[in-house]
Amino acid sequence: KMTVKAVKMPCAAPNVYTKVPDGGWGWTIAFAFFFVEALTYGIIKSFGVFFNDLMESFDETNSRISWIISICVFVQTFTAPLSTVLSNRFGHHFVVMAGGVLISTGMVTASFASTVVDMYVTIGVISGLGYCLSFLPTVTILSQYFDKRRSLVTAVASTGECFAVFSFAPAITALKEQIGWRYSLLSVGVLQLSIVICGSLLRPIIIKEQEEVKAQPPEEPTETKYMLENEQTRTSIESIDSGVEITTSPSNVPGNTKAELKSEEPKEHVQILVENNSTPPEPKTKLLDFSVMRDYSFICYAFFGLFATLGFFAPSLYIIPLSLSLGISKDHSAYILSAMAIAEVFGRISAGWVLNKKPIRKIYIELICVVLLSVALFAFPFASEFWGLMTCSIFFGFMLGTVAGTHIPLLAEDDVVGIAKMSSAAGVYVFIQSFAGLAGPPLAGVLVDTTQNYSSAFYSCAAGMVLGAVFLSLVRPCKAGLCHHQQQCTEESTAEVVPDPPDDFIEMDIGKAENSGKGCDGV
């Protein structure tokens, strides 16, 4: 049965389970992750509603305004290893709460910015660091609470950003008409302070396997008979101290022996088992494990994330400017962004439901979704009116949901690194993504300024997604090849090493030699 150890501090002390609970307090963390997603990535994707206002207020170009989100995403992903180190050192809940404070501080300060450079510092650096400290620890600890339901629960909980885009885009647009973009940004910053409450709900989890070991009573004043045997001979040695029959042949030693030997080695063995049952030693956790960089499958997966990130943020930023350039009104443009968010909800849930089926090779399902996402990005430039753009947005939103909600949790699968290295792998993976997050929106902005056509931004995103699909297709072959190579090395090393013969075999060979000697003397 699964047991939970009682704790005194409900929001700080860890939950101790004998196996992965697949629920329990994990449902509370899933609830918290939903709101963290809404208040981090949901706000980032909704930032496009401020785009034209910032261009008019600061009299800047597309590319310079794009640097605000670009720097924010870069700082968020570049500092991912720092988030992992701080989480392992101080705990997930403390780091997420600190991140919530930083996000709110940056957004509130940005509402008083006088230049676009001020926005680079406030939203880009301060809020960007807060986004990293809030998001990554939450998704990491959520993956640790679930095993069989991990894909589905993570996908459903990650729909928070979709509901945020669906609700925030029209709400902020309406709010700007009443109080202006500055006070609207101030209101968003105050709302993001609720991330602190979400962080206070996080509890770390410890999995300890329970061992049932019975302590031995004092020595029984009986005789002990040691049975030493191999394939052909069997020798008995009797002593007057004890009377328990023990066989030292590996095939004959029972698993739960209720005897205490006088020799020191068996005594130490029994004593260690009892100590492990009562107070298991705490394993030392590395603050950041870079050994994942030696795994070729992880390297390919990291390059997939690097290029796929080019297509994650730019479409959300440029969908409203693209619709306005086609003569679509502001209200209808906001509806397009909301429709994209709703489609992303269904995409995330659908991907989680499919990946939750077993047996299934999840990495191949992800590859199919990435290919279809590339097709969706290529389709945007062919839209020329409201319904065409709405159709492309719905298709893109659905496929984006299948990829965005699963690409980080898939690190916990054995095809990539496994759950044991999930924390460090997530930090390194998001760190590598940072470079695409920095280059993606400005690259799209430069293309738009050069060509005077918003379609070029979507072409650049599609090209990056295609490259990501190529590297994703190499993950499974690299993993299979590495495992096969390790297996061959193990077999070769096993074949070269001659196993030491057991002690009883040597003793009986000596006894056989003595008997042979006596026989020869007799002749």
- Which position has the token pair 């600890």? 141
- Residues 33, 30: Cα–Cα separation, whole Å: 5
Report how far residue 99's alpha carbon sits from residue 339's, in angstroms, rounded to the nearest whole number. Answer: 30
pLDDT at 395: 92
Inter-helix orientation angle 475-496/296-308, to 10°: 170
pLDDT at res. 481: 66
Q: How far from 62 is each of 27, 48, 148, 337, 464, CA to CA, in Å?
A: 42, 11, 45, 19, 20
Rounded to an integer, what distance in angstroms lies between the CA atom of residue 246 and that of residue 300? 54
**Residues forming beta bridges with residue 245, ordered by sequence position:** 225
- Spatial contact of 228 and 504, defined as CB atoms under 8 Å apart: yes
Backbone dihedral region of 401: left (phi > 0), alpha (psi from -120 to 50 degrees) or beta?
alpha
pLDDT (0 to 100) of residue 488: 57
466, amino acid identity: V
Check residue 372 and give its pLDDT.
92
| Residues of the chain where predicted confidence (pLDDT) is lower than 70 | 1-15, 18, 209-290, 313-314, 358-359, 481-523
Instruction: Note the pLDDT of residue 486.
Output: 53
Q: What is the pLDDT of residue 288?
A: 62
Q: What is the pLDDT of residue 313?
A: 65
List Cα–Cα distances, 446 to 65, 67, 383, in angstroms. Answer: 11, 11, 22
Its sign, for the CA torsion 462, 463, 467, 470, is: positive
Per-residue confidence (pLDDT) for residue 120, from 0 to 100: 93
Residue 53: its H or E element: helix 51-58
Sheet architecture: strand order including 225-229: 234-238, 225-229, 245-247
Q: Can you give the pLDDT at residue 285?
A: 53
Q: Which domains does the chain have, with CATH numbers?
A: 16-209 (1.20.1250.20), 288-493 (1.20.1250.20)
> Which pLDDT score is estimated for 384?
81
Q: What is the pLDDT of residue 250?
A: 43
State the Cα–Cα distance between residues 152 and 142, nearest whole angstrom: 12
pLDDT tens sequence across 428-462: 887 787 777 777 777 777 888 888 888 888 888 88
- Kindly state the tokens that stand for 61: 């170009």
Q: Which of 208, 181, 210 is nearest to 55 (CA)?
A: 181
State residue 264's pLDDT score: 44
pTM for this entry: 0.61
